[in-house]
Structure formats: structure tokens, C-alpha cells
Amino acid sequence: MKMAFEEVRLSLPHIELAAHLYGPEDGQPVIALHGWLDNAASFARLAPKLPGLRIVALDFAGHGHSDHRPAGASYAIWDYVHDVLQVAEQFGWQRFSLLGHSMGAIVSVLLAAALPERVERLALIDGLIPYTGEADSAPQRLAEALKAQMALAGKRKPVYAEFERAVEARMRGVGAVSREAAELLAQRGLMPTRGGYTWRTDSRLTLPSPMRLTYAHAMAFVEQLQCPVNLVMAEQGMLLAQPRFDELLANRPIIQSRLPGGHHLHLDDEDGAQLVADCFNSFLRPS
């Protein structure tokens, strides 16, 4: 299924972000948030299968065609939460739903738990909480992050002589994807450079986190969710492999579906996108 989208740039008070707009202007407002190192094309298959919604599929800061954060800034997960809230403000949406994949799902949970009065519904794909770290590991984690940050200036992004080589690299990357999915992400995520192509993404996105939420922190956000939540889990994805995952969902009023496919099941092929859409259509457009 094909569906036209509008390419827009959103001038927020602190940064300019790019996005794809899908659906009618008077549709149910939804902000779609992609995963780490992906971009708005993550929803190229799924968004057309969700009629009646006004979907703003963002490029997160540092991803796709969005601006990079200024020198000296970082990419903390809560900074993405602030970005999303500013996007909603720009559209004049006091209440909206969130459609999140992987890191985008995590950002969605943080925002919905922190400001429940703003978020109508959560539709999550193979993501719920960030990787956590306990207090005793914090000094070592900060040391590793600082060393990596100091070494970043001496590193260069990979350059691919041909577009196809970049596609093949993305197929093998974190959260491996199908060739068609890799092509969609690469079409938006690559830029020409001397010698071929390289990724638009900010190199700082690959730095290790200097600090992680503890498991108790993560649990607190899940416990504070007040809106309806619909979680799609990929049988060959990443979410089910997280430690203590069953404990996280125990006795939670969360709609849960396990679907065949990998971490990018909503993008890998049309059949997977349709299965995800079947889970979300009536949920995001309640009668």
C-alpha cells in the first residue's frame, strides 16, 4: 500500500526537526517515534495502513534530516522527551497518542508517565523501558563514556563507495532488517560524501550512555502509566530477551500481542506491517 506524505521541517525553540506527515489534518493526532539510528522512514509501511490518523513521523534529533544537537550537548533519552513535547506544542495538540518503536517506544513511555494529562494512548512496537544499570556500576559507566567522548574526534564515519554497500551494512546492523527495510532507511539516512556515501546521523549517537536509569527507575515509569497501552512484541525481536521482562509486565493492564518477525517487523515486509496495523487500528481510533 502506498500513501502520500508531506515532508516538513519543524522549527522548535531549541532545534529544527524533520518529519513526515500522514493522513487527514482532522485525523486523530499521533506522533510516531522511531528507534535508535533509524529515521522517519521506519513508518513508511505502517503509517499508510492506519487510516483516519494524523501521524507526525519524526526524525529524532541527530537522525535523518533533523538537525544535530549543538556542540557540547548530548543525546540523553529525556531530551528526546522534551523534543516530542515541543512538537505537540507546535501542532497545538494538548492531547495526542504516541506510536513508538524501540527507542521511540521508550521515549513514549517516559513522556506518558511524566505527563499523563497530555498522552491519550500508547501504541508500542518491541520496546518499553531502556537498558538499565544499578548504582554500583555508575562510576565505571561514566568513566567509559568520558573516554569514548574524548576519543570521538579521532574517529570518522564509514564511507561506502556504493549505495548498495551501505544497505548491506544496515541489514547487518543493530536490530538487523530486511533488504527492503534497509533500503527505505538508507534512502533517508544517507548523504553523499567524497568517495561515496555516509550516514547523516550524528556520531555522538554511538557514544555509550554516561548514566542509566536503575531498574527501579524504569519500573516507576511503567507503574505511573495511566493511559491505555498496546504493546506488540516481536517473537524474534529484542524486547522479549530483556532481563526480568516477565516481571515488568506482570499484572499490568497492558494489551499484549506476540507477532512473528524481527525487531523491525513493522518495516521488514508488508505482511508484518499489516499484522501490526491490525493490532493498532481500532486501538488508536476508538469508537
For residue 75, what pLDDT band results from cuts at 50, 70 and 90? very high
Summarize the confidence of residues 13-20 as an average pLDDT: 97
What local confidence, expressed as pLDDT, does residue 192 receive? 96
For the annotated catalytic residues, the residue numbers are 102
What local confidence, expressed as pLDDT, does residue 280 receive? 98
Summarize the confidence of residues 181-210 as an average pLDDT: 96
Interatomic CA distance for residues 136 and 131, integer angstroms: 15
Question: What pTM does this model have?
Answer: 0.96
Instruction: List the Cα angle 244/239/63 in 5-degree steps.
Output: 130
**Which residues partner with 31 through β-bridges?**
56, 98
Backbone angles phi, psi at 137, to 5 degrees: -95, -5
Summarize the confidence of residues 255-284 as an average pLDDT: 97
What local confidence, expressed as pLDDT, does residue 22 receive? 98
- Packing angle of the helix pair 103-114, 215-223 (nearest 10 deg): 60
Interatomic CA distance for residues 244 and 213, integer angstroms: 15
Q: Is 254 left (phi over 0), alpha (psi -120 to 50) or beta?
A: beta
What local confidence, expressed as pLDDT, does residue 1 receive? 40
Summarize the confidence of residues 152-179 as an average pLDDT: 92
Q: What is the mean pLDDT of the chain?
A: 95
What local confidence, expressed as pLDDT, does residue 250 receive? 84
Interatomic CA distance for residues 5 and 2, integer angstroms: 10
Domains of the chain: 6-136+213-284 (3.40.50.1820)
Residue labelled with grid coordinates 526524525: 59
For residue 12, what pLDDT band results from cuts at 50, 70 and 90? very high
Q: Please determine, for residue 2, whether its predicted confidence score (pLDDT) is greater than 70.
A: no
What local confidence, expressed as pLDDT, does residue 263 receive? 97
Secondary structure of residue 27 in the 3-state scheme: coil
- The beta strand positions in 23-157, using DSSP E, are 28-33, 53-58, 96-101, 119-125
Summarize the confidence of residues 112-139 as an average pLDDT: 97
Summarize the confidence of residues 158-165 as an average pLDDT: 96
What local confidence, expressed as pLDDT, does residue 3 receive? 54
What local confidence, expressed as pLDDT, does residue 287 receive? 65
Residues 6+ apart with CB under 8 A from 64: 18, 39, 40, 41, 188, 189, 200, 201
